[in-house]
Structure 1
C-alpha cells in the first residue's frame, strides 16, 4: 500500500491525481491538482461508480491556507469510519442530510435565542404592571411602585433579572420572608398581593393588541398563588376567616340549633354571590331574579347617593341554593320574606351567627378545645374579598362585583349591560377559588390564569 509523502503531493502535475489507499473496503485519499492548487478528496465506490467527497485544499507551504498531509489523512480516515458505521447508506447522501439537519438546528437555535431575547424579566413584568396601574389612574400606583422597587427590585436584583416565566414559588417566598423577618407582616401581604396582581397582568399582557412589539412573558402559571397569605397580620383590625372556617360554616350552618333552611340559604347566598350585602339580598323580590339570564338585580342604597341597580350574575352554585328557596318561599314576595309577607329582619341574620358560634363552642367543649373566635356577616364579606383577590380578579372588577362605591363617570354609566360580561368572568374566577375552599383541594396557581 502506497503511503504518500509531502513532496509527492506537492509535485503532482496540473490536472493529475495521486491516491493513498486507506485499507480494503475503506476507500482512499485522493489528491488532485486543479488550476495550480492541490485539493484533497475522500474517494469510495458505490458498485463500480466512484464518489468523491471534498476534504479541502492541501497546504503546500506554511503561508498557504489548507490542511497538512497529516490532517488530510485524519479527515479521510474519519470519513472511512463514518462509512463503516452507517452500513449500506450512501456516505455522501448521509453527510448531506446531516448537514441539512445541522443547518435547521442552527436556524432553530437562533430562533429560540431571538424568542428568549423578547421574553421579559420579573423587573419588566413589574414595570409593565405599574404602567398599567398608571394608565388605569389608580391612586395606589405610587405606593405600589415604591414597594416593588424597595422590596423586590433592590432587595433581590438577581431574582428581578430572571425571566418572569422562570420565577418559582421559592423565589417569591424568599422575597416575602425577608419582609416578614423585619416584622412588617402587613407589608408582606401587600407585596404578595402586588406580585400576584403583576403575574395576573402578565398572563393577559401577551394577548393585548396595544402591547404588540413589547416584551412577552409567556407565563404558564402564577407562582405567587402557592404563597400563603398571612391572615393573622390583619386580625388586629379585621377578622378574616381561614379556608377551614369558611368551609365548615358554609357546609354545616344548617346543623346549628334554631337555624332554619331559609336563613341557611341566605348566608350561603352571601358566599355564593361573592359577598353581597345581606340587606340587599333580604330586600330582593322574586321579580329581581332572572333565571333565564342567570342574574339577580339588587338595589344598592348604601351611602348618600340615590339608589342604583346592581346586577350580579349567578353561578350554578347560587342557582342550586335559590331552587331550594323556591321550593319553600315561591308564594311569598321575595325569597327571604317571612310568612307574613315581610322582609327577614337583620336580627334574624345576627342570630344565625350567634347560633353558629354556640354550635362551634359546644363542639370545642366536647373535644376539650378552646372556644373558637366569633365572626359576623361583615367578616364573611371581608373574607370573600380576600378570596376574590386570591382568585386573580382585578380590583376594579371586584369593586363592581361587590358593589363598592362608584363615582364620577363610572357611576354615571353604571348599568348591567356595560359591566355584566366582566362580572361574569370575575365571579367565575372567584367561584373556582371558592370551590377549592369548600372541597378542601389545594389551590393551584394554574387555576388563576384566564386566557
Structure 2
C-alpha cells in the first residue's frame, strides 16, 4: 500500500505512469496515483464498467492527502456496492445461530454488539462489500487497546464465520435467489487479519483450597448479590459451564435437581444434563428467590426477563482479582473456576469418572455412546453432597 513518504519520493518520467494503492477484491475498484511528466501527482479511482476501465479523478497530491483520497475512494465504491450492510450480515449470522439453537448464540450476539456494533456505528452501517481487512484490524486493535487479550481472537473468529456465511449465501446456487439481502461479497476480509497466537495457550490454572476460600469470602462484599451467588452456585455445583447454566430457565430448577440443556455438539445429538442439588446450591437459590421468585431465570441480570450475561460474569471475576492481587498466587479467570472444581473434587475423594459426569462431559466410547442409558443420578447426588461438605470444612470455614 502507498505511503506519504513513498509518494514524496516518486520522480517524474518521460510519460505518465501509475502506482496502485494495493490490491482489492475483484470488482471493488482501486485507488491509483498517476505521476505526470511535469511532476504533478493525481489520485484516481479506477473500476471496470461493462468490461471497460473507467477513471474518476479524486484530487491532486499534496493538497489532497492519501487518507483523504482513500476516503473518497471508499465513497465512490459505495455507489456500486450491494445494499446489504455490515450490521445486516451480523444480524443474519446471529439469527442463523439462534435458529440452530447453538450454545454460542447469546455469546456471539453480545460480543458483536459490544465490540463491533456499538463502538463502530458508522462502520456497521456501510455496505458489507466495502469492509476490508483494515476495518477488521481496527476492531481488534481497539479491543487490545482496552486490555482485551484472548477474547479478541474469539471476536475475530466470530467475524470470520459471519463473513464466511455471507460468502456461502452469495454463491450457493440453490438458495441465492431466496435471500432478500444481497451482500456482494467476493472475499473474506477477516482472513488477512492474524490470530494473536500467544494468547491461545491452553490454561492450567487451578486455585488452591486457600485461594478458593479467599474468593468465596470476598464475593458478597466485592460483587453484586446476583453475581456473588451465581459464582458460589457454580462452585457448589462442581464447576458447571456458566453459559449453559444461565440459559436454563426457572422451570428447569426442580426441588432436588437442575436440568441443563447441553448445546454442545450438532443439533440432534445434544443431551439433557441433570445436576442434583446439594445444600450449598439450595442456599444460593433461596437467596435468589428472596430477590425474585417469579423471574424467568433464577440468576436474572439488569434487564427483566433475561439472565445475567456470561461475559459480564467473566469480567466481574477478572476485576475482582485485579483489585485483590495480593490475596492470590496469580491471575485467574472464570474459566479457571471450572478447572479448580474438577481438581479439588478429586482432593475431596470423587473419582475422575464421577467428576466427568458431574461436569457433563461426553463419554465417547461405544458402550457409553450407544448402550449405556443409566442416568447416574444417585452417584452424582452423593458426589455433590460430599463436595458440599468438603467445601464447608475447607473453603467456607477455612479462612
What range is the shorter-chain TM-score in?
Answer: 0.3 to 0.5
Which of the pair has the greater relative contact order for Cα pairs under 8 Å at 6+ separation?
2
TM-score by length of 1: 0.40
Q: TM-score, normalised by structure 2?
A: 0.45
